Chain A
Amino acid sequence: MEMLTYKILLCVIVFALSLGIAAYMTWGERKIAAILQDRVGPNRAGPLGLLQPLADGIKMFMKEEMIPGQSNKWLFILGPSFFMLTACMTGVVIPWGSGITVGDTVYPMQITDINIGLLYLLGVVSIGVYGIMIGGWASNNKYSLLGALRASSQMISYEVAMGLSLIALVMTTGTLNLGEIAAQQDAGWANVVYQPLGFLIFLVCAFAETNRAPFDLPECESELVGGYHTEYSSMKLGFFLFAEYINMFISSAVMATLYFGGYNFPFQHALGLEGNWLAVVQTAVLFLKISAFIFLFMWVRWTLPRFRYDQLMNLGWKVLLPLSLANIFITGIVMWLTGKLG
């Protein structure tokens, strides 16, 4: 019973945290964009513009709600809701820390420690594309439809390479359980050492999956108006944009967990910290890693131009897919040679 309340509490915390961090990522995005372009960025609402997300949120709510007459109303509403829902669902399997011990019960910092966590992640991420599909299709607008088509084909193409790059990781770690993968990296090296190519593929795919530049073709404001969210206004548009930031946050968390040691950091046991204090520091370190990845996302966005659609497809199917297959093969051979294969 006590565990259940704790889990519910953790759910609420993770949910609130994702929302809060996503809100401040919009601020960070604008600030970083500004800094990279020799500008100052938002600095009017509050000190350093820190209240800007709040102002943006209020603006979004105050905007007129438009549902095009020709659209399918229910699907039109379902689209962004679905996108948001799947974005929030991914956070439950990520181990945010090693666990807090009170008395003799250990409170894990992970909402559900399912043994197929990795599979769950991939599954939820791939249904996320339905949000975009439904939204773009229900809008009954050719730009939205084109954007939605692009989004779905892009996400499906890159999911293949992403999944295959993860297979190589699963081969080395021997588990699909995210908590275990994170814990394993405590003793040995971070997984990126064993899977550098796999990480690179995963990184590129993560950019594509979150629809971030240089893979932001679904939006593609220069040719498709706003892509799949052309017809959206008010908070429904806000949901689409917001969910993208949550996705980015979760992808960063997944990358940190899978490849960069999760909440572990080098020499953590040499610090001589007590169990609970260590857990707190570990969580802080995880968030530091996540922030670094988020910065990378934004840094890349404000550096690179967008890919052309055929380039995107070529990269996905002709480069990343063979590479990830080769990665599996090489991993297998190395494991066989080192005698790690049972």
Chain B
Amino acid sequence: MTTLTQRSKTVSVRKLSLSERLYLPAILKGMLITLGHVFKRKPTIKYPEEQREFAPVYRGQHVLKRDEAGAERCTACGLCAVACPAEAITMDSAERKKGEEHLYREEKYASIYEINMLRCIFCGLCEEACPKEAIFLTDRIVPSSFTRGEEIFGKDKLVETPDQPIDVSKRQEAGLAAFKKNKQHYHNRTFRDARPGVAAH
């Protein structure tokens, strides 16, 4: 008979020999095995003091970036929500009023932007879809909470504070950034690209 793997073993139901029935040799053998583990390296990472080293592309809690002038980059286009396989993102948009130019980069902005961290699978597709370089996944771990409601992160938790920008340079791959700047692609064009005369604020 041909076997699927080479790992099959023939099992015998022979009577145990005297030394096996005595248990003691087997017990000693077992105890030597456990004793061997005394000298093994412990894989434990003592968390608050030690931290696991993260991969540079680790995908953790999201951040909504601001631009160099401190205005929110997100324009509430909804592409991230469409791309999200877990349907974790919801948003509402609003029009930028006069005098709010320092707050929002584009003429339309997200008045509500929520990610349900319990639904999110941290795939990073939102980041990939975003034409505005607005959303990034960072190496921060989403904190645990006692209620489900607390796990729906609004803009208060997602948007970075202007004085404490969150470094995402590790995730801004040069090639990708160049691709996103390529105005040849329709989805990379912004309102301003269509009307080059309009000056940036």
Query: Is B97 among interface residues, defined by CB-CB distance under 8 A?
Result: no
Question: How far is A303 from B31 in the complex, measured between Cα atoms in Å?
Answer: 6
Question: How far is A37 from B34 in the complex, measured between Cα atoms in Å?
Answer: 8
Across the interface, which residues of B come within 8 angstroms of A37, CB to CB?
37
Query: Is A43 among interface residues, defined by CB-CB distance under 8 A?
Result: yes
Contact between B43 and A302 (Cβ–Cβ < 8 Å)? no
- The 0/1 profile, CB within 8 Å of A marked 1, for residues 14-49 of chain B is 000000000000010011011101101111101000
Question: How far is A188 from B42 in the complex, measured between Cα atoms in Å?
Answer: 44
Query: Is A40 among interface residues, defined by CB-CB distance under 8 A?
Result: yes
Closest A residue by C-beta to B28: A303
* Size class of the contact patch on chain A: 10 to 19
* Chain B binding surface, main DSSP class: helix
What distance in Å separates the Cβ of B108 from its nearest Cβ neighbour in chain A? Answer: 50
Contact between A38 and B30 (Cβ–Cβ < 8 Å)? no
Question: How far is A304 from B34 in the complex, measured between Cα atoms in Å?
Answer: 10
Contact between B37 and A36 (Cβ–Cβ < 8 Å)? yes
Question: How far is A40 from B41 in the complex, measured between Cα atoms in Å?
Answer: 10
Across the interface, which residues of A come within 8 angstroms of B40, CB to CB?
38
Which residues of A274-313 have CB atoms within 8 Å of chain B's CB atoms? 299-300, 302-304
Contact between B44 and A302 (Cβ–Cβ < 8 Å)? no
Q: How many residues of B contact A (CB 8 A)?
A: 14
Across the interface, which residues of B come within 8 angstroms of A299, CB to CB?
31, 34-35
Q: Are A38 and B33 also in contact (CB < 8 A) when A303-B27, A304-B27 are? A: no
Contact between A303 and B46 (Cβ–Cβ < 8 Å)? no
Contact between A39 and B44 (Cβ–Cβ < 8 Å)? yes
Partner pick for A36 among B27, B38, B43, B46, CB 8 A cutoff: B38
Contact between B46 and A302 (Cβ–Cβ < 8 Å)? no
Closest A residue by C-beta to B23: A315
Partner pick for A303 among B30, B42, B44, CB 8 A cutoff: B30
Across the interface, which residues of A come within 8 angstroms of B43, CB to CB?
38
Contact between A35 and B44 (Cβ–Cβ < 8 Å)? no
Which residues of B37-65 have CB atoms within 8 Å of chain A's CB atoms? 37-38, 40-44, 46
Across the interface, which residues of B come within 8 angstroms of A43, CB to CB?
46
Question: How far is A300 from B29 in the complex, measured between Cα atoms in Å?
Answer: 11
Across the interface, which residues of A come within 8 angstroms of B31, CB to CB?
299-300, 303
Contact between B42 and A38 (Cβ–Cβ < 8 Å)? yes
Interface residues, chain B, with chain A CB atoms under 8 Å away: 27, 30-31, 33-35, 37-38, 40-44, 46
Interface residues, chain A, with chain B CB atoms under 8 Å away: 35-40, 43, 299-300, 302-304
Give 4 A-B pairs besides A35-B38, A304-B27 with Cβ atoms closer than 8 angstroms: A36-B38, A38-B37, A300-B27, A302-B34
